[in-house]
Amino acid sequence: DIQMTQSPSSLSASVGDRVIIGCRASQSISNYLTWYQQKPGKAPQLLIYAASSLQSGVPSRFSGSGSGTDFTLTISSLQPEDFATYYCQQSYSLPWTFGQGTKVEIK
């Protein structure tokens, strides 16, 4: 199975900060990488697919980059509604696997 490792596991940031979350795959996954946002008690929501494609309706302050084994999710200017947990997911090979999550908290 492909292991997905996110860094950091949690971070504290202020409104307006630039936030970068990393995701590393245990083997190359090309661009088969997706990012989700999850708020407490809610289902995950799709942010980014194919490593860098922004899902329709998602604010442009979210962006994704990377290919192969190393990927990043960037929030250019953190907004109050962005405090949540973020997960990466690989769909290169079965079983599809998620990172352990990165919790973004208010500083």
Binding site for another protein (CB under 8 A): 32, 34, 36, 38, 43-46, 49-50, 55, 87, 89, 91, 94-101
Q: Which is nearer to another protein, 45 or 67 (CB)?
A: 45
Task: Name the strands in the sheet holding 62-67, side by side, starting at the edge strand that comes first in the sequence.
Answer: 4-7, 19-25, 70-75, 62-67
Measure the CA–CA gap between 77 and 69, rounded to whole angstroms: 26
Q: Cβ 99 to another protein, closest distance in Å?
A: 7
Q: Cβ 94 to another protein, closest distance in Å?
A: 6
Q: Which is nearer to another protein, 5 or 79 (CB)?
A: 5
Q: Cβ 84 to another protein, closest distance in Å?
A: 13
Q: Which is nearer to another protein, 44 or 66 (CB)?
A: 44
> Which residues lie below 8 Å from residue 74, measured CB to CB, with a gap of 6+?
18, 19, 20, 21, 62, 63, 64, 65
Q: Cβ 107 to another protein, closest distance in Å?
A: 22
**Cβ distance 16 to 77 under 8 Å?**
yes
